[in-house]
Structure 1
Amino acid sequence: MTLESEWLFLGESAALGTAAMFAVVSILFSLAARETSAFAVNLARITLAVPLLLAFTMLTQSGAWWETLSLNRTLILALSGWIGLTLGDWALFSSFARLGPRVPTLMMTLAPPITAFLAVPLLGETLGWIQIGGMVVTLAGVVWVVLERAPVGTKPHADLALGLSLAFIGATAQGTGLVLSKMGMAGEVDPLPATLVRMVAAMIGAWILVIVQRKWGELGSL
């Protein structure tokens, strides 16, 4: 096995593992958001993740890893965190609370196509016909499931429309955040410190929303 094929195998394995964990987490957050609120769940998740991620970064990174984080890269990664995690996850978890995990998780499959389309003008990447065809198939599958006849006892139309809109906002924000994160790393910043910057920025953004919108009452339900 060549070095390139080894990296490809590791990347594909990591992607599959991420997808599996995302599926489990989607169900857990859907249950949690129904007990309290999507905003409170997202805030708790980000706040708890930051110290754990910081500790893991300190244990696994050697040398002065923070020196690769220039001001420009840090600002781009922070913007990525605000858009992809603060806004994107809030919208996604709000959709979970209204629709359950099934349809919002399906809607999030639009995030990769959105990322790919944004990467064309922002990163100078190109799309082949195979990639475009895969995106069309994905979009068609999402539309098919969303437009299928809803069983008796499902959410009202207005609530369904709001839930779908929130899920689409979440997918778009996640795609935008991923493109910005790649711009911020620029092939020189390790993914772990980059993720730490994104999470810290997202945590700050979430707490700012708490203060501005005066949502202290929602935190009491945690």
Structure 2
Amino acid sequence: MIPFVGEAAAMTAALFWATSSMIFSNIGGKAGAQSVNRGRLLCSITCLTIIHWIVEGQPWPHATTPEQIGWLTLSSVLGLVIGDAMLFQAFVMLGARLSMLMMSSVPIMGTVLAWFLFDEVLTPTQMAGIALGVGGILTVIMMRKGRPANLEGRNYLIGVLFGLGGAVGQVSNLITAKYALIGGYSALSATWIRTLVAVLIMWGIAALTGRVRRTIVSCTAPNVRGWLMLGAFIGPAMGVWLSMLAVQNANVGIASTLMATPPVLLIVYEGVVLRRPVGLQAIIGTCMAFGGVALLFLF
């Protein structure tokens, strides 16, 4: 096995998710959070089918047991349907950076649940790395700078709760998917099945509520469709596949910590690319988070 393949997959997934979150936050305000959510799932299953055909030699998975389908279905419902619906609503209310900051609770939940469910044992150094990484992300979260000016009080709390709901969905998705991946089952096939389940459920709900036409019109608008395809490819398609590889090849606590770094990456993006002042607190938090990542890789 290639050393650190799981950790590298988790870190790459984080980069992809940070980028796609900015895209979805931007177009979600134009087309509507749930319309974008349904549209990106349809785009991502198309991308995944092509990728699966190239990598696995067939457009969709075969030789999947009923037990694996059951776990992947549960994973999809908890993560891609419920969790992502909440996260996309948070994108619209809070913006990409603050929404992804709420996801910093994922490694804590993931480590605790993995300890109970999989008897995973972390070394003291790894525990220190996770603590340092989470501490850095929490330091960034505590910043008051950058909070939406027109979102205070009850609405801000609702946005935060939507973001935390997305975090709960993400960790539930990781834990349940782990059961299906035991035994070396293809992470790409697992991603294809999970995405198909989410497409069927989300578009089924849209059909029952009469929102199919509205979704298609919103997602095919000239200023939305191109960005939607790009975001769907790098986020729900490549990002989710890489997250499955990470869970399959790395400790859940370590993988979820690395995949929780998009908030810090977005701070770096704002400071370096957009040249917005981020403040000393954000810089300290960023250094702490990447210091924790270094501990996980080196020891």
Structure 1 length normalisation: TM-score?
A: 0.85
* CA distance 1:160–1:131, shift in 2 (3 Å): farther
For 1:106 and 1:66, locate their aligned partners in 2 and report how far apart those are by CA, in whole Å.
34
Is 1:118 the counterpart of 2:131? The answer is no
* CA distance 1:68–1:121, shift in 2 (3 Å): farther
Q: Is the 8 A contact 1:109 1:138 kept in 2?
A: no
For 1:65 and 1:217, locate their aligned partners in 2 and report how far apart those are by CA, in whole Å.
28
Is 1:156 the counterpart of 2:152? The answer is yes
Q: Is the 8 A contact 2:49 2:60 kept in 1?
A: no
User: Secondary structure of the residue that 1:52 maps to in structure 2?
Assistant: helix
Given the alignment, which residue of 44, 48, 52 partners 1:53? 48
Give ranges in structure 1 of 5+ residues lacking alignment.
Answer: none
Mapping of residues 19-168 of structure 1, within 5 Å = 19-62=14-57, 66-150=61-145, 153-168=149-164
For 1:207 and 1:109, locate their aligned partners in 2 and report how far apart those are by CA, in whole Å.
29
Which residue number corresponds to residue 203 of structure 1?
A: 199
Given the alignment, which residue of 194, 212, 215 partners 2:190? 194
CA RMSD of aligned residues (A): 2.6
Is 142-151 or 152-161 further displaced after alignment? 142-151
Q: What do residues 75-130 of structure 1 show as CA deviations (whole Å, max 9, x unaligned)? A: 11111111111112111111010111111112223223322222222333234544
Q: What is the one-letter code of the residue matched to 1:165?
A: L
Percent sequence identity is 26
For 1:94 and 1:125, locate their aligned partners in 2 and report how far apart those are by CA, in whole Å.
33
Q: What is the one-letter code of the residue matched to 1:169?
A: G
Q: Is the 8 A contact 2:72 2:177 kept in 1?
A: yes
Which residue number corresponds to residue 176 of structure 1?
A: 172
For 1:142 and 1:12, locate their aligned partners in 2 and report how far apart those are by CA, in whole Å.
18
Q: What is the one-letter code of the residue matched to 1:170?
A: G
For 1:166 and 1:99, locate their aligned partners in 2 and report how far apart those are by CA, in whole Å.
10
Is 1:16 the counterpart of 2:5? The answer is no
Is 187-196 or 150-159 further displaced after alignment? 150-159
> Shift of residue 71 of structure 1?
0.8
Q: Is the 8 A contact 2:52 2:60 kept in 1?
A: no
User: Secondary structure of the residue that 1:69 maps to in structure 2?
Assistant: coil
For 1:139 and 1:177, locate their aligned partners in 2 and report how far apart those are by CA, in whole Å.
20
